[in-house]
Amino acid sequence: MKKDLLTLLDLSKQDFDLILHRALDLKKALKTNGESAPSLKGKILGLIFDKPSTRTRVSFEAAMIQLGGTSVFISAKDTQIARDEPVRDTARVLTRYLDGLVIRTFSQEFLNEFARYADIPIINALTDLYHPTQVLCDIMTVMEYKGRYDKLKIAWVGDGNNVANSWINASAVLGLNLSFACPDGYEPDPEIIKNAKKNKKSRIMVTNNPLEAVVDVDVIYTDVWASMGREDEHAHRKLIFKAFQVNQDLVKKAAPDAIVMHCLPAHRGEEISEEVLEGPQSVVWDQSENKLHMNRAILDVLMAS
Binding region for ligand CP (CB under 6 A): 53-56, 126, 134, 263-264
Beta-strand runs (E) in 166-292: 177-181, 203-207, 219-222, 259-262
What 3-state DSSP class applies to 247?
A: coil
Select the binding partner of residue 93 from ligand CP, ligand NVA, none (C-beta < 5 to 8 A, by kind). none
Measured CA to CA, the distance from residue 197 to residue 277 in angstroms comes to 31
Site string for ligand NVA, 111-130 (x = CB under 6 A): ---------------x----
Q: Which stretch binds ligand NVA (CB under 6 A): 15-23, 34-42, 67-75, 157-165?
A: 157-165
Closer Cβ to ligand CP, 56 or 127, answer by number: 56
Measured CA to CA, the distance from residue 33 to residue 218 in angstroms comes to 32
Nearest residue to 47 via CA among 63, 36, 31: 63
Select the binding partner of residue 237 from ligand CP, ligand NVA, none (C-beta < 5 to 8 A, by kind). none
DSSP character at residue 83: G
Count residues binding ligand NVA (CB under 6 A). Answer: 10
Q: How far is the CB of 42 from ligand CP (least distance, A)?
A: 27
What 3-state DSSP class applies to 6?
A: coil
Measured CA to CA, the distance from residue 237 to residue 233 in angstroms comes to 6
Peptide bond into 265 cis (omega under 30): yes
Measured CA to CA, the distance from residue 294 to residue 137 in angstroms comes to 6
Q: Which stretch binds ligand NVA (CB under 6 A): 197-205, 219-227, 254-262, 291-299?
A: 219-227
**Residue 133 within binding range of ligand NVA, rule CB under 6 A:** no
Closer Cβ to ligand CP, 202 or 221, answer by number: 221
Site string for ligand NVA, 161-200 (x = CB under 6 A): xxx-------------------------------------
Measured CA to CA, the distance from residue 296 to residue 24 in angstroms comes to 10
Q: How far is the CB of 128 from ligand NVA (least distance, A)?
A: 7
Residues of the shown chain interacting with ligand NVA in the complex, contacts defined by CB under 6 A:
126, 131, 161-163, 223-224, 227-228, 263
